[in-house]
């Protein structure tokens, strides 16, 4: 919930404000494009949505976007869905991502870290050389613009090289992490029919090696469009028969050739979680991602050539794509391939220390796990270069804000805490980091530039200080150009535009506060609505998971056939804890006193674990459907769930209740 205390948790000093990239951009945009000189970020944001075309033209000029063919205008068609950006323009994303190689060839572009936590650098010159060699090899294999290239790879330098080489050719990249099983991968890759498949023989996680050769064989057999398989021997095994060696394809010293493609040409395909059917295959464009990520990473995250950017992610999550785009700003990016908690809970902080990270991105869940494990990051690790800790994946609870603040109290100027929220759908943030604004507990700092973010009531009226639907009322360049295999656009339309015609509805409950910050309450399709009072599940989780006995929780509001409303709370306990009457009483009291007496659960049940999607989101809607009696095979796509066996508990519970 929004902080009741109007005093911010953190406030930037004047030196920080004056030297922030967003301040320098505002000064330049005022001189060249009529942006407001005064009023700081709120005035700049208002201008960016009032003068949308001019704002994005300014972004293109500020970042020196190299259009090999000029654009006729910024927005050819602004209707959603179907907005047309920079018609007539041609460019190449990979060309921009490798620009820093010209000025800083010997400096690290990538720092690769595995579970030993020792960084291995890849210089800008070496990255450019490998991309050039592999792009030439892809062309020799017959890969042409628009062809799909897939990667079954962990977060390693080879994945970055393969993606950039694909983009250089004008082909379309798509990836899955190797912890995905064959079914989960095929649900994604079969939709886009790749012609090349990059694979590893296995991966290391939690101190163990995980062989993937059997899964790779399944993928090869089930993807008939694949003409070439490239073997990356992460575990040192020889290339299977009929595959190509990674080292052979990247050994050349070939200057990269960048295919100049239309602004709207597809760059990659990302996937929704696919919990209730085939994952949506989300297509985003070379130009749209280029502009959106330059804006987001430089103007919001304040990243530049002096920075090192670490975000814990896998190649199956959009944050990997976001991380790689750090290269657009000349930033060194940190690729961590391993468990977030190996050999101990402090693992991610150790990676930040050893890589000299300046922006450290992680999940809200990791922050809270460190809080509960009594980790002291600033005391136990040298984090003197970290100026920002950013979180996403779920809302950072107020206790998470306070804990981070308290860990860095000895730092001059304190710690910039950036809770951000967006989605795979736009591969970016709707609201989040602003270097020049204060941070309030439990709140995202502001809506992002060029993002006309509002909270709407059911009739489409904007709300301030009240809970409403998250909507975006004007197009963003990184909105999907389409879904793959959705020829008439029906599925795309129904995903975002069926509630408010011509307006993007994202499916989150939010509050836009009177001072312009944003509070995320959880998914609107799993919102708790008791006696007309709506509450997001995230609010329940924040309150309940403060209790030391609760590792994780899952709350649902289940409409009953007789018109009743059943609200169970499922809790996964910490080792040694017991769900007895005393703990149940404390849970109920915590919710009643901190949130609402109307949202005290009807039942509190102990579960062995909380099920998640493969990208780590709690499985709220599918479990709700199971509890309403929907058969398992219709309620959830098994290939999208981290531990499918956990769902049997809810199937059995629904049967007993019936």
How does pLDDT run across 440-493, given as a tens digit for each residue? 999 999 999 999 999 998 889 999 999 889 999 999 999 999 999 999 999 999
Alpha helices in 564-617 (DSSP H): 581-594
Quote the pLDDT of residue 276: 59
Asked if residue 656 has a cis previous peptide bond (ω within 30° of 0), the answer is: no
CA angle 342, 346, 348 (to 5 degrees): 75
Question: Could you please report the per-residue DSSP string of 39-96?
Answer: SHHHHHHHHHHHTHHHHHHHHHHHTT---SB--S-SEEE--SSS-EESTT-EE-HHHH
| pLDDT tens-place string over residues 34-75 | 999 999 999 999 999 999 999 999 999 999 999 999 999 999
Q: Determine the pLDDT at residue 1.
A: 40
Our separate counts of H helices and E strands in the chain read: 22, 36
Written as six digits, the tokens of 318 are 């959009």
- Return d(Cα 46, Cα 622) in angstroms, integer: 39
The residues that bridge with 361 in the sheet, in sequence order, are 311, 390
Residue 10's pLDDT is what?
96
DSSP assigned state of 432: E
CA-based radius of gyration for the chain: 24
Q: Among 330, 267, 291, 266, which Cα is nearest to 57's?
A: 291
Closest C-alpha among 372, 277, 215 to residue 613: 277
Retrieve residue 635's tokens. Answer: 């309620």
Assess contact for 509 and 526: CB atoms under 8 A: no
Cβ(68)–Cβ(260) below 8 Å: yes
Residue 545 CA to residue 571 CA, distance in Å, equals: 9
Would you tell me the crossing angle of helices 581-594 and 537-544 to the nearest 10 degrees?
Answer: 130
Res 183: pLDDT: 82
pLDDT at 172: 98
Q: Which phi and psi angles does 380 have, rounded to 5°?
A: -95, -10
**Which contiguous run of DSSP H or E holds residue 208?**
strand 208-211
Cα three-residue angle 423-427-433, rounded to 5 degrees: 75
The segments of the chain whose pLDDT lies below 70 read 1-5, 274-277, 526-527, 529-534, 561-563
**What is the rounded distance in angstroms from the CA atom of residue 396 to the CA atom of residue 516?**
18
> Distance (Å, rounded) from C-alpha 425 to C-alpha 54?
24
């Amino acid at each position: 919930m929004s902080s009741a205390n109007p005093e911010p948790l953190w406030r930037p000093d004047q030196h920080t404000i004056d030297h922030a990239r967003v301040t320098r951009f505002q000064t330049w945009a005022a001189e060249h494009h009529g942006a407001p000189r005064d009023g700081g970020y709120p005035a700049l944001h208002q201008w960016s949505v009032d003068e949308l075309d001019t704002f994005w033209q300014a972004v293109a000029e500020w970042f020196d976007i190299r259009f090999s063919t000029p654009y006729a205008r910024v927005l050819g068609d602004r209707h959603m869905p179907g907005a047309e950006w920079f018609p007539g323009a041609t460019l190449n994303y990979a060309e921009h991502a490798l620009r820093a190689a010209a000025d800083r060839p010997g400096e690290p572009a990538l720092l690769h870290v595995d579970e030993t936590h020792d960084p291995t650098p890849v210089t800008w010159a070496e990255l450019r050389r490998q991309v050039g060699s592999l792009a030439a090899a892809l062309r020799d294999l017959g890969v042409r613009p628009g062809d799909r290239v897939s990667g079954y790879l962990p977060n390693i330098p080879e994945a970055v090289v393969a993606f950039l080489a694909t983009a250089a050719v004008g082909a379309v990249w798509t990836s899955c992490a190797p912890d995905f099983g064959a079914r989960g991968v095929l649900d994604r890759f079969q939709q886009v029919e790749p012609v090349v498949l990059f694979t590893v023989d296995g991966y290391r996680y939690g101190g163990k090696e995980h062989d993937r050769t059997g899964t790779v064989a399944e993928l090869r057999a089930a993807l008939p469009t694949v003409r070439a398989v490239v073997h990356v021997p992460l575990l040192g095994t020889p290339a299977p028969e009929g595959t190509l060696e990674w080292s052979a394809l990247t050994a050349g010293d070939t200057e990269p050739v960048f295919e100049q493609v239309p602004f709207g040409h597809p760059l990659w395909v990302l996937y929704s979680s696919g919990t209730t059917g085939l994952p949506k295959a989300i297509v985003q464009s070379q130009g749209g991602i280029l502009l959106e990520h330059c804006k987001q990473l430089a103007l919001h995250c304040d990243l530049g050539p002096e920075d090192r950017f670490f975000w814990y992610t896998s190649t199956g999550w959009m944050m990997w794509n976001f991380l790689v785009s750090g290269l657009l700003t000349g930033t060194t990016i940190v690729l961590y391939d391993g468990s977030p908690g190996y050999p101990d809970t402090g693992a991610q902080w150790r990676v930040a220390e050893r890589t000299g990270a300046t922006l450290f991105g992680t999940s809200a869940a990791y922050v809270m796990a460190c809080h509960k494990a009594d980790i002291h990051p600033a005391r136990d690790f040298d984090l003197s270069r970290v100026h920002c800790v950013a979180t996403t994946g779920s809302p950072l609870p107020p206790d998470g804000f306070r804990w981070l603040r308290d860990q860095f109290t000895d730092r001059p100027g304190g710690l910039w805490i950036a809770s951000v929220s967006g989605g795979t759908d736009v591969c970016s943030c709707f609201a989040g980091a602003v270097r020049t604004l204060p941070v309030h507990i439990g709140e995202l700092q502001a809506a992002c530039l060029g993002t006309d973010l509002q909270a709407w009531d059911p009739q489409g009226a904007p709300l301030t200080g009240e809970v409403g639907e998250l909507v975006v009322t004007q197009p963003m360049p990184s909105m999907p150009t389409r879904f793959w295999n959705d020829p008439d656009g029906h599925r795309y339309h129904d995903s975002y535009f069926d509630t408010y015609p011509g307006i993007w509805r994202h499916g989150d409950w939010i509050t836009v506060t009177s001072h312009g910050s944003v509070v995320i309450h959880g998914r609107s399709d799993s919102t708790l609505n008791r006696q007309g009072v709506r509450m997001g599940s995230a609010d329940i989780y924040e309150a309940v998971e403060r209790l030391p006995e609760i590792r994780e929780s899952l709350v649902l509001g289940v409409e009953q056939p007789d018109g009743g409303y059943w609200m169970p709370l499922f809790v996964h306990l910490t080792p040694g804890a017991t769900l007895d009457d005393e703990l149940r009483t404390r849970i109920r009291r915590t919710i009643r006193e901190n949130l609402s007496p109307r949202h005290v659960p009807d039942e509190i049940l102990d579960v062995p674990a909380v099920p998640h999607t493969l990208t780590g989101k709690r499985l709220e809607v599918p479990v709700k459907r199971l509890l309403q009696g929907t058969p398992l095979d219709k309620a959830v796509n098994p290939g999208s769930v981290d531990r499918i066996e956990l769902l049997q508990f809810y199937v059995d519970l629904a049967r007993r209740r019936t």
